[in-house]
């Protein structure tokens, strides 16, 4: 029987609604303080141009110029196309050998003038789920002004953040919550913050979405056909039967983006059926 103990735990986590496929509300950033960056010549940084859609781990390097006094550790710099509509950006810092990179994100316009700032305190801790490590992540939306070809993202950490820690959740407590068991009286592990880390950024463009300081309102159909719902439900069940859990989770994510919520129940039912065999 291919359904091992860690899949049994996954069933419990999904029943509790902790699978991670439900998208969080976008972060609302702060207006960047030009004074803090007054002496920084951002044009001297090497900006990595990307193509959209983009999803990759960031390449961290030591800064080649003097940045603001609060910046510490390594940084990542990318140049994002700004002429392809509004942007949805997700940044995720994964646990790496008991360390996390406490990322801050500074958004600069085409003239490399800071405009928006997303400090580490705005990002949210996410418990480890299935194949995903403990992580800190968040999503935000940007609407580049017309006429810009690129905007720029500077990812960095600060002296203050390096002194901090992130409290994780022990897996035994997650399992106990899912099974309505007594919480074990054990301390939660703690991740220290490091000067570099495993940070992945995902960026997509939305030509027709209206994004200001409000969450994205995607142009999805108001009613999904029964044939579409049946397709996703069948595809999820088929993926589970083949042992392809990653594919099933991707299908659930896409289905819920379309407003189909039955596929999650189908997934849990199929996993339990495999468990009973």
Q: How much is the pLDDT for 131?
A: 64
Phi/psi of residue 173, nearest 5 degrees: -75, -35
How big is the chain by its Cα radius of gyration, in Å? Answer: 21
What is the predicted pLDDT for the residue at 160? 95
Burial 121-137 (b: 16+ CB within 10 A, else e): eebeebbbbbebbbbbb
Residue-level pLDDT, tens digit, the chain, 277 residues = 444 444 544 554 454 443 333 345 677 778 887 678 888 999 999 999 999 999 999 999 999 888 988 899 999 999 999 999 999 999 999 998 899 999 999 999 999 999 999 999 999 999 887 667 899 999 999 999 889 999 999 999 999 999 999 999 887 887 776 667 788 888 889 999 999 999 999 999 976 343 333 333 333 344 667 777 888 888 888 888 877 776 777 778 777 777 788 888 888 888 777 766 6
Position 10 scores a pLDDT of: 57
Collapsing DSSP to helix, strand or coil, 129 comes out as strand
61 CA to centre of own chain? 21
Q: Tokens 């997509």 belong to which residue?
A: 204
Q: Give one word for 91, left, alpha or beta, with left for phi > 0 and alpha for psi -120 to 50.
A: beta
């Amino acid at each position: 029987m291919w359904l091992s103990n860690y899949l049994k735990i996954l069933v419990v986590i999904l029943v509790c609604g902790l699978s991670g496929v439900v998208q969080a509300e976008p972060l609302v950033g702060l207006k960047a303080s030009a004074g803090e960056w007054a002496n920084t010549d951002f044009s001297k940084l090497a900006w990595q141009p990307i193509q959209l859609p983009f999803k990759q781990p960031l390449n961290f390097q030591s800064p080649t110029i003097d940045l603001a006094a609060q910046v510490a550790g390594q940084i990542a710099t990318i140049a994002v196309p700004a002429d392809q509509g509004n942007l949805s950006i997700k940044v995720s810092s994964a646990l790496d050998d008991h360390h996390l990179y406490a990322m801050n994100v500074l958004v600069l316009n085409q003239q490399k003038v800071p405009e928006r700032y997303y400090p580490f305190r705005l990002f949210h801790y996410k418990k480890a789920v299935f194949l995903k490590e403990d992580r800190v992540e968040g999503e935000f939306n940007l609407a580049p002004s017309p006429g810009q070809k690129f905007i720029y993202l500077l990812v960095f950490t600060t002296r203050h953040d390096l002194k901090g820690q992130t409290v994780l959740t022990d897996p035994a407590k997650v399992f106990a919550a899912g099974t309505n068991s007594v919480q074990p009286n054990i301390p939660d592990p703690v991740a220290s913050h490091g000067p570099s880390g495993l940070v992945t950024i995902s960026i997509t463009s939305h030509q027709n979405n209206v994004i200001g300081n409000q969450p994205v309102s995607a142009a999805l159909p108001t009613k999904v056909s029964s044939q579409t719902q049946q397709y996703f439900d069948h595809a999820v069940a088929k993926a589970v039967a083949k042992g392809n859990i990653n594919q099933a989770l991707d299908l659930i994510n896409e289905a819920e983006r379309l407003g189909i919520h039955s596929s999650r129940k189908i997934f849990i039912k199929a996993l339990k059926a495999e468990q009973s065999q």
